[in-house]
Amino acid sequence: MIPGSKETVAPAGAGRADTPAFVLRPGSSADGSPAGDQLEISMGPQHPSTHGVFRMDVLLEGERVVRLKPVFGYLHRNHEKIAETASYLAAMPYTDRLDYFCSLTNNWAYALAVEKLAGLEVPLRAEFIRIITAELTRLQNHLCLAGFLLQDMGASGTPLMYAFREREKILDLFESLTGARMMCNYMRFGGCRCDLPAGWLEQAKTLVDNFPRFLDEFEALLNENEILMSRTQGVGVLSPQLAVNAGITGPMLRASGVNYDLRKVDRYGIYDRFTFRIPLGAHGDVYDRYLVRVLEMRESIKILQQALRELPPGPIVDPKAKLRGFRPKAGEAYGRIEGPKGELGFYLISDGSPNPYRYRVRPPSLVNLTVLEDLCLGQHVADVVIILGSVDIVLGEVDR
Amino acid sequence: MFGEGILKGMAETARNFVGSYTSEERLVTVPYPEKRLPQHEAARNFPFLVYDGEDWQKGLRCVACQICEKECPPKCIYIVKDVTRKPDHIGKLQFQPKVFDIDTSVCMSCQICVEVCPFDAIKMDVEYELSTADRFGKLLLDKRDLAKPNEYYWKIHPTEAAEVDSRLGADRVKAEAKAKAAAVPKANPAPLPQK
């Protein structure tokens, strides 16, 4: 504010970071400041339902949302800068921690980008293992989402714990294969780090064969529940035009009816060998986003059954790939996969040195968050929590 | 009927609740710490240094090549090379580390140090009950804390340890065969030329 200028003083509380938790003041709403019975709430970074350290400045008129501003950056960890100063291999464990639920798909997207950059080929067995681990990751991510969404709605823990009971079995598989439950660090440039241990294949087959029965129980628990239906149907409707214009990808896009799945469009890896369908939603509301994910779990089971049956023997990694002293030629590459949350892309520019010149992550959660205000306008404040839950964000990815 | 969905859900919950008393697959929790689940063989937590034999200083496999220090993503390893050398498992003189520190408050257990080590000297431990009240000192492990015997490595990762030992054994056999082949001509040296 410059002394002597004609500009008016903006009322304290109109979207500044040092405001108290809520502000109630009279005034016209022409300049955006709260009017008569408007309430500005900061659903702050410490909140049980914001899926991480995420803040929303919500302007409410009664119970209805008039304006919503998402504020993030609380989990920014300089991932891109670290990857630009460390070597290509050293950036791999950091990619685990982007979308920390889905570390194996993050690893695959990064490995894909580097393989495009360096011209490495992946042997067939490694491609199969990559698909198996990616679909297991998709299963456990959608389980997390279903559980957390129901938790946000107030079903205090029961669907969450049932989902996590199955997720534990998948994490057991990850631990026996990669050594860690969540931070797997398993993909390498040109293949995978190590081969399947003895007995892993049988354990995976048992899990995949028992999963549809669990999904039947889970859907019986939830799908026709009147509370769930009345709270989620018609809430947070995303039109397909807005979804495409805003660059939304993943189950959120497909729930609005747009048939776009990178596994069918790009056919990266060897996805074109497997038959699976793409579930599409009709309304684009929260219920559709939840149901699309449950149906995607069933399609993932189909892919897993086929892949586990047809897994060929062979090498695990491209013999041309070097672990140390890896210097791809100068150039650029963009590698993208259909992650469980959307299109996860890595853009790499190499100048011939051991570390990337530019390393950029396209985070699906961040891009999907940009329409949060449009989804929440006119809804109740209680629905804001549910809509945010259905977007399926992970702050590790949003903030990097 | 309105409410039918909720009743169906409650039947599921009841089935799980009653089932947790009757079937094992529905009772999934383990009363830690009275009962601990066994760990997978591939599990990893923080690294440790392997030594062969009884003397941890003489048998330490690490030759202070510093490759793990260079490749470590968060740079949690600190090595100072010693000037004196010591023989390794095949008798060749190798360097050794004077200082080998790992800061476990920085280490992210990514296992890259294990992958790049050419001497099978650093491996992943599985110890996870590591809570300490000392925030900085106890989390910085030095060479003595990190050195653990090969028998311990066999206990926690039997398949890997068997593979490593067979490879090191093969090296030893090859080295002995080479030494024997080189020793034979020396038994009958050629006569010196007469002046």
- pLDDT above 90: residue B93: no
Q: What is the pLDDT of residue A22?
A: 46
At residue B2, what is the residue type?
Answer: F
How far apart are the CA of B43 and the nearest CA of chain A, in angstroms?
4
Q: Does B171 contact chain A (CB < 8 Å)?
A: no
Q: How high does pLDDT run on average in chain B?
A: 85
Shortest CA gap B62–chain A (Å):
19
Buried b (16+ CB within 10 A) or exposed e, A252-267: bbbbbbbebbbbeebe
With CA atoms as reference, the chain A residue closest to B15 would be A217
**Residue A349 pLDDT > 80, yes or no?**
yes
Q: Specify the pLDDT at position B190.
A: 61
Lowest mean pLDDT among A149-153, A346-350, B87-91, B127-131: B87-91
B6, B11, B116 member nearest A226 (Cβ): B6
- Whether A180 and chain B come into contact, CB under 8 Å, resolves to yes
The label of the residue with tokens 């601990």 reads B36
Q: Which residues of A311-350 are buried (b: 16+ CB within 10 A; e: fewer)?
A: beeeebbbeebeeeebebeeeebebbbbbbbbbbbbbbeb
Question: Rounded CA gap, A208 and A215, in Å?
Answer: 11
- Mark out the alpha helices in B23-85 (DSSP H runs): 56-59, 67-71
- Chain B within 8 Å of A175 (Cβ-Cβ)? yes
For residue A17, pLDDT beyond 60: no
Q: Give the length of chain B.
A: 195
Residue B174: the pLDDT is: 85
Q: With an 8 Å Cβ cutoff, is B114 touching chain A?
A: no
- What tens digit of pLDDT does each residue of A134-144 get? 999 999 999 99
- Tell me: the pLDDT tens digits for A215-226? 998 888 888 888
Q: What pLDDT, on the 0 to 100 scale, is given for residue A52?
A: 83
Beta sheet of B97-103, edge-to-edge order: B77-81, B97-103, B140-141
Inter-residue contact A307 to A131 (CB < 8 Å): yes
Q: How far is CA A240 from CA A235, A274, A372, in A?
A: 15, 27, 15
Instruction: Flag whether residue A233 sits within 8 Å of chain B, measured between CB atoms.
Output: no
Whether residue B188 is predicted with pLDDT greater than 60 in this model: the reply is no
Residue A47 or A206, more confident: A206
- Of the candidates A28, A24, A26, the one whose C-alpha atom is nearest the C-alpha of residue A59 is A24
pLDDT tens, residue by residue, A109-148: 999 999 999 888 899 999 999 999 999 999 999 999 999 9
Taking residues A72-94, report their average pLDDT: 91
What confidence category does residue A321 fall into, taking pLDDT thresholds of 50, 70 and 90? confident
Tokens 């028992």 sit at which residue? Answer: A210
Q: What is the pLDDT of residue A24?
A: 43
Q: How far apart are CA A36 and CA A32, in angstroms?
A: 12
* Cross-sheet strand order for the sheet of B122-124: B122-124, B47-51, B147-149
Residue in B86, B103, B8 with CA at minimum distance from that of residue B51: B86
Give me the mean pLDDT over the B27-48 stretch: 87
**Is A90 in contact with B73 (Cβ distance < 8 A)?**
yes
How far off is chain A from B124, nearest CA to CA, in Å?
10
Is the pLDDT at A168 greater than 80? The verdict is yes
B76, two tokens: 């949690």
Contact B115 A323 (CB under 8 A): yes
Identify from B27, B45, B108 which residue to disrupt to test chain A contact, counting A C-beta atoms within 10 A and taking the largest count.
B108
φ, ψ at B173 (rounded to 5°) = -65, -40
Would the pLDDT of A164 be above 60?
yes
Listed range (A10-24, A281-295, A308-322) with the worst mean pLDDT: A10-24
User: Above 0.90 for ipTM, yes or no?
Assistant: no
A-B CB pairs within 8 A amount to 81
In this prediction, residue A13 has a pLDDT band, given cuts at 50, 70 and 90, of very low
CA-to-CA distance for A268 and A136, rounded, in angstroms?
17
Q: How far is A162 from chain B (nearest CA, A)?
A: 9
Q: Which amino acid is at A191?
A: G
Q: State the amino acid at position A312 in one-letter form.
A: P
Q: What is the pLDDT of residue A295?
A: 94
Q: Which percentage of chain A shows pLDDT scores above 70?
A: 91
**How many other C-beta atoms lie within 10 A of the C-beta of residue A64?**
15
Distance CA A136, CA A189 (A): 21
Tokens representing residue A373 in the block: 């205000």
* pLDDT value of position B60: 87
pLDDT for position B192: 63
Identify whether the C-beta of residue A99 lies closer than 8 Å to the C-beta of residue A339. yes
pLDDT computed for residue A301 by the predictor: 94
Mean local confidence (pLDDT), A67-79: 90
Task: Pick the residue of B10, B12, B68, B75 with the most A CBs within 10 A to test the interface with A by mutation.
Answer: B12
Residue at A254: amino acid letter = R
pLDDT at A302 over 90: yes
Express each pLDDT in A91-107 by its tens digit: 999 999 998 999 999 99
Whole-angstrom CA distances from A196 to A133, A173, A180, A288, B42 are: 11, 10, 14, 37, 11
Mean pLDDT calculated for residue range A272-281: 91
Whether B8 contacts chain A with CB within 8 A: yes
The nearest CA of chain A is from the CA of B42 a distance in Å of 5
Q: Among B3, B72, B73, select the one facing A94 at the smallest CB separation.
A: B73
Q: Which of A87, A175, A224 sits opposite B5 (nearest CB)?
A: A224
The DSSP element (H or E) to which A67 belongs, if any, is strand A64-71
Token readout for A89 is 């291999």
Q: Does A165 touch chain B (CB under 8 A)?
A: yes
Chain A contacts of B126, Cβ < 8 Å? none
Q: Is the pLDDT of residue A149 over 60?
A: yes
Q: What amino acid occupies position A268?
A: Y
Is the bond preceding residue B33 a cis peptide, omega within 30 degrees? Answer: yes
Phi then psi dihedrals of residue A116, to 5 deg: -65, -40
Q: Which of A93, A180, A222 sits opposite B9 (nearest CB)?
A: A222
Query: CB count, 10 Å around CB of A149?
Result: 26
Q: How far apart are CA A47 and CA B96, in angstroms?
A: 51
A197 in contact with B, Cβ within 8 Å: yes
DSSP 3-state of A382:
helix
B126 touches chain A (CB under 8 A): no
Q: Tell me: the pLDDT tens digits for A176-208?
A: 999 889 999 999 998 999 889 888 999 999 999
